[in-house]
Amino acid sequence: MTMNPAQRRYLGRMMVVSVTYVAAIFLAGSLLPKGSPATPLSVAIALLPGLAVFGFIWAIGRYFSELTDEYLRLLEIRKALVATALALGVASSWGILEIYTDVPRLPVFWVFPIWCLGLGVGAAVNKLTFGDGGCA
Amino acid sequence: MKNRLKILRAERDWSQGDLAERLEVSRQSVNAIETGKYDPSLPLAFRIADLFGLPIEEIFLKD
């Protein structure tokens, strides 16, 4: 299947943001020992990967708005809704478990990766209900 | 919603890909509309009607 222009731009942006994210993780990891005191400089360095995460979210948002094919856009939005439901449900349920039991703490860092996994679940839901997974 | 897209397309000997190209949508969209899995928006329904030179209600039928 050939990619439409919105998909090509999306993949290009995701590649740039991914490289930035990995570079920011390495930079923060090399400059800040684990458990460093929260100074303005250490916080600024530690937030760099977070900015890249905003980059991922921006790229996904741009993709939704640039996708001119309304059916494909519907599939992508459905995937995002499933992902949001999954991420919110898992994070909230685990949080309740943490309150009442001694399960290990789930770092909030994992919420976005869980959301991304949810996109895959959303594609499966689309496949089951529409016969089409989506396009990205 | 039912529609006569497949018949109209067949009358013109167009593949789903041909129709998708003329409508500037994906082949997946044409397939989803034809099989009734997806109802197009009003603007897309008008584009389909314009392409076939028919009123919308002669292409899309009430269930």
A62-99 tens-digit pLDDT: 999 999 999 999 999 999 999 999 999 999 999 999 99
Q: What is the mean pLDDT of chain A?
A: 93
pLDDT for the residue numbered B63: 73
Nearest to B26 among A72, A130, A131 (CB): A72
pLDDT at A2 over 80: no
Q: Which residues of B touch A127 (CB under 8 A)?
A: none
DSSP letter at B38? -
CB atoms near residue B33 (< 10 Å): 27
**Closest residue, chain A, to B37 (C-alpha):** A130
Q: Give the C-alpha distances (Å, rounded to integers) separating A6 from A21, A120, B36.
A: 22, 19, 26
pLDDT above 60: residue A136: no
Size of interface A-B (CB pairs under 8 A): 31
Verify whether the Cβ–Cβ distance A71 to B41 is below 8 Å: no
Q: Which residue has the higher pLDDT, B12 or B1?
A: B12
In B, minimum Cα distance to A133 occurs at B28
**The pTM of the whole model exceeds 0.90:** no
Q: Which residues in chain B have their CB less than 8 angstroms from residue A4's CB?
A: 26
The share of chain A scoring above pLDDT 90, in percent, equals 85
Q: Report the distance separating Cα A15 and Cα A92, nearest Å.
A: 31
**A128 has pLDDT over 90:** yes
B26·A74 Cβ contact <8 A:
no
* pLDDT surpasses 90 at A40: yes
**Which residues of chain A does B37 touch, with a Cβ-Cβ cutoff of 8 Å?**
130-131
